[in-house]
């Protein structure tokens, strides 16, 4: 029987120690987390300055960076862009859409070749999907404080909030 090696335990200890040092270096006075922005020699001082950004503001920027590109939204709608903002009373998500090829019902502007009931169902389904995205980036925020404003090719269609889509065109 081969004796057990302690090398594995040294590696675990080293990883834990490094993680602790990394956390300690970011921990400021009064138990608050602090971090300094990286400095780049080629930038002027005004662009190298630290900026105070809340966790929610950073989440909105991360959300926009992640979802602001074309992609599938539902079987009937595709996302062209998505931009997240912290509004006065709510988190506002603006999603511009186009119809999928098989559901090519968009006529022009904010008009469709199908009835409002089908448009409402399509955008309510898309609202459910987008609300799941928001919940991932903003855990603990009440659904009543999140709105999704839908447009198609830049023309506003309506607003999804609290599980309901209301046409505003």
Q: Which residues are paired to 72 by β-bridges?
A: 78
* Beta-sheet pairing, 91-99 with 146-152: parallel
Query: Mean pLDDT lowest for which of 24-38, 73-87, 101-115?
Result: 24-38
CA distance 14 to 26: 19
Token pair, residue 29, equals 């006075």
**Model confidence pLDDT, tens digit, residues 12-24:** 544 444 455 444 4
Cβ atoms within 10 A of the Cβ of 149, count?
18
Q: Compare 63 and 5 and report the one with higher pLDDT.
A: 63
Q: Which pTM was predicted?
A: 0.76
CA distance 159 to 7: 59
**Using only C-alpha atoms, what is the Rg of the chain?**
23
Cβ atoms within 10 A of the Cβ of 28, count?
10
What's the rounded mean pLDDT across residues 74-81?
97
**Mean pLDDT of all residues in the chain?**
85
What's the rounded mean pLDDT across residues 56-69?
96
DSSP percent split of the chain into helix, strand, coil, nearest 5: 40, 25, 35
Q: What is the pLDDT of residue 134?
A: 97
All domains of the chain, ordered by start, with CATH?
A: 7-48 (no CATH), 55-167 (3.30.300)
Angle between helical axes of 55-67 and 116-137 (0-180°, round to 10): 130
What's the rounded mean pLDDT across residues 106-131?
97
Percent of the chain with pLDDT over 90: 72
């Amino acid at each position: 029987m081969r004796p057990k090696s302690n090398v594995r335990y040294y590696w675990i200890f080293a990883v834990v120690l490094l993680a602790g040092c990394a956390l300690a270096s970011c921990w400021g006075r009064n138990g608050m987390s602090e971090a300094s922005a990286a400095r780049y020699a080629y930038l002027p001082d005004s662009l190298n300055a630290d900026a105070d950004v809340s966790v929610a503001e950073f989440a909105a920027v991360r959300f926009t960076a992640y979802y602001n590109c074309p992609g599938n939204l539902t079987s009937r709608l595709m996302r062209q862009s998505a931009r997240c903002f912290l509004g006065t009373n709510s988190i506002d998500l603006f999603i511009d859409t186009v119809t999928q090829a098989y559901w090519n019902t968009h006529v022009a502007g904010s008009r469709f070749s199908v009835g409002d009931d089908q448009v409402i169902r399509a955008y309510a389904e898309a609202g459910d999907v987008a609300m799941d995205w928001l919940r991932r980036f903003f855990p603990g925020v009440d659904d009543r404080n999140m709105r999704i404003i839908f447009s198609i090719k830049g023309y506003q269609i309506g607003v999804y909030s609290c599980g309901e889509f209301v046409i505003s065109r």
